[in-house]
Every structure is written in C-alpha cells, then in structure tokens.
Amino acid sequence: MNWFDFFNFFSPAHNEKRQADAPLCGRSMVEMLGVLAIIGVLSVGAMSGYSKAMFKYKLNKQTEQLTQLYYAVLQIDITDGNMIPYLEKLDLIPQNMIAENLNYIYDIFNLQIVLSADSAHKNVVVSMTDTHDQNNAVCLNILNSAIPWAAELSHIGVDSKQSASDEQHMQDWFFGDNETRCTANHRCIRSLTLEQMQNLCQICNKDYCNLYIAFNK
C-alpha cells in the first residue's frame, strides 16, 4: 500500500462507503440463515417422504413374497410336519427369506413365518409379534394378499393373547369358498370387507399374535 492508498483508506469518504456496505453484509447473513432454515424444512419433508415410500415398497415386497409362498405350498403334497425343508430343496422359497434354522423363514418386515402341514391343512402362520406401530397396515396387507386365494383356502384368522404362555385366547376366523361355514354364516374370505379385516387386525394388537392362512389339502 502506497501513501496515497493509506490516506485514502482512512478518508471520510472511504469510511462512509464502509458504513454503507455494512448493512449489506448483515442482510446477507440473515438471508443465508433463512436459506438454511428452508433447507432444513425441505430435508425433514424429504426424509418423511422417503420413509413413506420405503414402507410402501416393503408392503408391496411382502405381498410378492407371500404370493410366492402360497403358490409353493400348493405345489407339494405333504402328510404332516414342517414344509420348509421340502420347499427349500425345490427352490420354491425366495432365498432372501430363508434362515439358517429351517423351522421358519422371514419376510421383508422380519416377521417369522412357519409353513406346516397337518391332517387337513397346509398352514402359513405369520407371527405378528414384532410389528409394533406398523401392525395394522402390515396385518391388512397380509389379509389382502390372501383374498385372491379364497377358492384354495380353508380359513384365515388370528389367534391372539397377552403372552406366549397365556392360556386365554382371542380368535376370529373367515372361511374359503368350499367351507360350509362360509356360506352358512356369511363369513367368506372372498367377500371380506375393510371393516372386517380391521376388526381382525385389532384383535392382533396384543403382545403375542399369529395370523393363520390355511390351505385345503
């Protein structure tokens, strides 16, 4: 800086210019804070939108997984017991559902599923114990996935209690096309209403609940 620049820097005219520029700096800071606040709001909205989209994706994936299981269950003839090892050998279970212990498998929500056969039915049993606040939507999704299979089903329903050791149960059932209790009592899977499904799922708002989808043999 030469002497001319030195005296010019401390001149009254230059001081007035610095004072005039100062408010501009202040406004820029306020504007930047406003922009940051807007970005924060948009980020929260984006995260909320992402969570909803991811949950919707999981519901669709669960429907896809269950549909594959229903198809698989109908492919084998088994007298009694655990169907999973047989279905696994036939490559009829999605690989991403298979656990090390072949007594059960897991869906996209990490819900435990048992596939078993008894003297009259082939059962898909979904444990609803770990769904927590998503319980109702997940339960409705499972019931909706079963409705198109009404002609092959014996019954669907819930069995709920306060804990695994509790002897008191709350149960409710609806029946497939070939079951007399479907036509006699008008409790048919094919005509399940949203209100009826919500009532079933409400029963499942306990600490321990299983949702049954039972196919005729």
The model's pLDDT over 167-208, given as tens digits with 9 standing for 90+, comes to 788 899 999 999 999 988 889 999 999 999 999 988 876 678
With H, G, I as helix, E, B as strand and everything else as coil, classify residue 23: helix
| pTM of the full structure | 0.75
Mean pLDDT in the chain?
Answer: 83
Kind and range of the H or E element at 159?
Answer: strand 153-161
pLDDT of res. 7: 42
Residue 29 has pLDDT above 90, yes or no: no
pLDDT band of residue 158 (cuts 50, 70, 90) is very high
Contact 211, 180 (CB under 8 A): no
pLDDT above 90: percentage of residues in the chain: 52
Give the integer Cα–Cα distance in Å for 195 and 159.
18
Of 82, 92, 91, 150, the C-alpha closest to 122 is 82
Q: Name the DSSP class of 188.
A: B
Kind and range of the H or E element at 143?
Answer: helix 135-146
- Residue tagged 């019931």 (tokens): 143
Q: Which residues contact 157 (CB under 8 A, 6 or more apart)?
A: 171, 172, 173, 174, 200, 211, 212
Residue type, 107: D
Residue 88 has pLDDT above 70, yes or no: yes
Give the integer Cα–Cα distance in Å for 82 and 183.
31
Contact 128, 210 (CB under 8 A): yes
Q: CB neighbours (10 Å) of residue 206? A: 19
Q: What is the pLDDT of residues 74-85, one digit of tens each?
A: 998 887 899 999
The alpha carbons of the chain give a radius of gyration, in whole angstroms, of 31
Give the integer Cα–Cα distance in Å for 106 and 95.
10
Q: CB neighbours (10 Å) of residue 62? A: 19
Over residues 153-168, mean pLDDT: 86
